[in-house]
Amino acid sequence: MHAGRPNPAQWLWYAYGGGLPPALSDWVLDDTTRRSWVVRHLLRALAQLAPVVLLCLLVPPVPFGFRLTAAGGGLAIGLLFSLAYMTETTEHRAVKAGWPPGTTARRRDERAERDRLERGARYRSNGAGSFD
């Protein structure tokens, strides 16, 4: 049963670490385990960093070059920190949505194994069903 996607307000809440309704738990698992899960994680991190970067660009009474450098450095450090903890963060999101711990890692491993088999399938011999 697929309940769809969160609306923009729900997604923003989710991006900032909030929980989604139980009807969207399948979407959360898909969001944290699909092939593009790293890109999706980085988009959530950018959504979290955007207000801070904007404040850094607009508020300090220093030349714009300084503000731009500070905002760029903060963005780079924030994204690096986010990348360092992305597996733990996505696992936490899935657990918060009601999935048992370890589900995201198991699902990604299953997908990697399927992909490995499919890559090797073009070299199979004796027809379509053989893995000789």
Q: 75-113 pLDDT, tens per residue?
A: 999 999 999 999 999 999 999 999 999 999 999 999 888
For 15-42, what is each residue's pLDDT tens digit? 999 999 999 999 999 999 999 999 999 9
pLDDT of residue 68: 96
Element (H, E) at 67: helix 64-84
Q: Is 104 exposed, middle or buried (0-12, 13-18, 19+ CB in 10 A)?
A: buried
For 112-125, what is each residue's pLDDT tens digit? 888 888 777 666 55
Are the CB atoms for 57 and 68 separated by under 8 Å? yes
Q: pTM to 2 decimals?
A: 0.82
Produce one character per residue of 56-85: b if its CB has 16 or more CB atoms within 10 Å, e if not: beeeeeeeeeebeeebeeebeebeeebeee
* Alpha-carbon span 23 to 28, nearest angstrom: 10
